């Protein structure tokens, strides 16, 4: 299994207070990492195992790191897609952090991601009976293209 490595190409990065926003220019996904998750991403340089990263962050258990790495992989923020070792759920990860030795790690890693909508998806949609040309025009997602109006 190759070691986790942060993806730097085709990604916009913006620091806002303690959070870091990543924008994936290829897949139009936006991800927000809190300070802990961002540190794990930064430490993922292709030379460290999850256990090394946990040790660096003074965690007794690599569970929270593995959880975070899985989220980063899902968000497309790691270079490789090799399956990561099985890890805890987020709730278990938080409990593990609470028993860790590093006092400063008060916040459990947090990874929030969205797929940025297209213009049509972000704008108003049509109710039943509104004129439409395609499914994305309708709130219901159903456009009777022959009749030309939204259904449902």
Partner 1 sequence: MTTLLLPADARPQTRITPPQPAQPAHVPHRLTQKWHTPCFDNLNKLTWVDGFGVQTHGVRVGVRVSDPALIPILKALLPAHAKPCMTNRFDTILSVIRGGRVAGSRVRNFHMVYQNHTEIARARTEEDALDRFQSWFALSVAFLAPRRVFVHAGAVEWKGRAILLPGKSLAGKSTLTAALVRAGARYLSDEFAVLDGAGNVHAWPKPISMRETPTSKQVDMPIEAFGGQQHEGAAPPGLVVMTHYKEGATWRPRRLGRGEAMLALLDNCIAGRLAPTRVLDALDAVTDQAVTIKSPRGPAEIIAKKILSKIEKTYCKTR
Stretch that binds partner 1, among 28-36, 67-75, 80-88, 89-97 (CB under 8 A): 28-36
CB-CB contact of 137 with 126 (8 Å): yes
Contacts 24+ apart (CB under 8 A), 103-108: 105/36, 105/57, 105/58, 105/59, 107/34, 107/35, 107/36, 108/36, 108/64
Q: Is 122 in the site for partner 1 (CB under 8 A)?
A: yes
Q: Is 14 in the site for partner 1 (CB under 8 A)?
A: yes
Q: Is 125 in the site for partner 1 (CB under 8 A)?
A: yes
At its nearest, how many Å lie between partner 1 and the CB of residue 66? 22
Q: Which of 3, 5, 21, 51 binds partner 1 (CB under 8 A)?
A: 21
At its nearest, how many Å lie between partner 1 and the CB of residue 129? 6
- Sole residue written with tokens 């899985």: 70
By C-beta, is 60 or 139 nearer to partner 1? 139
Strand (E) positions, 1-152? 11-16, 19-24, 29-33, 111-115, 143-144, 149-150
The gap from C-alpha 96 to its chain's centroid, in whole angstroms, comes to: 21
Q: Which residues bind partner 1 (CB under 8 A)?
A: 12, 14, 16-21, 23, 25, 28, 30, 32-34, 112-114, 116-120, 122-125, 127-131, 133, 139, 145, 147-149
């Amino acid at each position: 299994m190759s070691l986790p490595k942060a993806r730097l190409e085709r990604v916009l990065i913006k620091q806002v207070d303690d959070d870091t926003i990543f924008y994936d220019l290829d897949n139009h996904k936006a991800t927000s990492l809190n300070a802990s998750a961002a540190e794990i991403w930064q430490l993922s340089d292709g030379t460290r195992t999850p256990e090394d990263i946990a040790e660096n962050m003074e965690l007794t258990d690599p569970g929270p790191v593995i959880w975070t790495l899985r989220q980063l992989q899902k968000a497309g923020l790691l270079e490789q897609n090799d399956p990561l070792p099985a890890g805890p759920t987020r709730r278990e990860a938080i409990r593990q952090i609470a028993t860790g030795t590093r006092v400063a790690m008060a916040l459990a890693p947090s990874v929030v991601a969205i797929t940025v909508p297209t213009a049509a998806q972000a704008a108003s949609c049509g109710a039943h009976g509104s004129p439409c040309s395609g499914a994305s025009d309708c709130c219901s997602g159903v456009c009777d293209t022959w009749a030309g109006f939204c259904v449902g």
